[in-house]
Structure 1
């Protein structure tokens, strides 16, 4: 039984896709199979997972899905990630996906859920990379998801985006997906020796309590993350150079594995904690 996890923040530039690929790396290193659904028209996750010039993208899938008989359409877009990304598969994105935001057809926000029906459970985890906006693509992701992981940086506009994303999530849960849960909040590019990050950490603790995955899950600001992204390889492949980034990513991965097991126990599914 897969855990479908949407990762996002309304604000851009917070390291959302870096968390998507870093968490994917952590999960695959634990022997989990991961399907990454790139729902961001910028297609950064697709690129970082070394998927280039795909024949079929999420845009094609969402355009196709319009009726119950179209359930499972995402299967036709799944491709393996590039070299070094064992156990990872991708539904890639493209710039044209942005046109789906203007789609005014009936059930437009239910299409991703329909497309993943019968497909998601072939994997241990499905990770949806949300765009940095609160439009139809994000709604599709939240309706299709079991849980939401919000990523932020310790700065004012990014933390403001957390509150806006939480509000959007609550609305989706109230009207479209009543089992949607919050998996946690990840603080990215954390600099412990500076005053502002510490103040924002205190603010997030006070407002979101144990939803903040810390201190083990605080991801530091390191150049190796950008280097891994540019090379389209897992950050774990950098070995000791990436150790202080890899440790929190592994911790976040373990937290998600535990949440998947707990959800499976509640719903009668079976998920290994190993």
Structure 2
């Protein structure tokens, strides 16, 4: 029985994999939280990996506090770069499979067309830089690994944009949401299923892949869809990013091109509205 180790088990993606695991009893699932897989302490991490001895690692653990990363640079790089370097080295030496999750924040946002896996990276914040360093280290240490870049992740679990909007729309008469950052949301349940589908595929083709739901929208348009499905009475207005300054800059355009993952793994990716509706059911 193959042993799958899921890091970041209490995060959005780890939690969604936890929901799906019961459908795949042929695997021995290990869901490791930050105490069982300690990404910020490399010596401890090394011992933990040797203890678990997984055949597959789904690396969903990450430092994701985008604004805090601007001041917690060392911690962000330890978790997002050095820890994945160690995990990649371990999986390479043990001939274990690795799927590592990355982000659209490796891009600078200056593109006007959907970004494919060959598009030039140029992170504009510490979080993005740490994740890009992790991608490079991952494939350097384990050329047989798969890296999946995703964007705007949300779920019934954890903290995310959808849950924040749900709360604010019930608390307030009106809210403002940035309308000049373009991309596509990712329902973590869809990405979790895609990871399992890739693992079960007859072929394993390493490298970088993009995955998000279909659609090209702004955060403002995403908020309008949340309002629609939640039937909230709150008034939602659009504002430019300049009216909502944050410590970390965000890419203005980070729409991911999904042709590669759809072609190689024959994945059907739902439209963002279909998946958002699922969360409201």
Q: More relative contact order in 1 or in 2 (CA 8 Å, sep 6+)? A: 1
Same fold (TM over 0.5): no
Q: State the TM-score, normalizing by the size of structure 1.
A: 0.38
Q: Which has the higher helix share?
A: 1
Q: State the TM-score, normalizing by the size of structure 2.
A: 0.38
Q: Which has the higher strand share?
A: 2
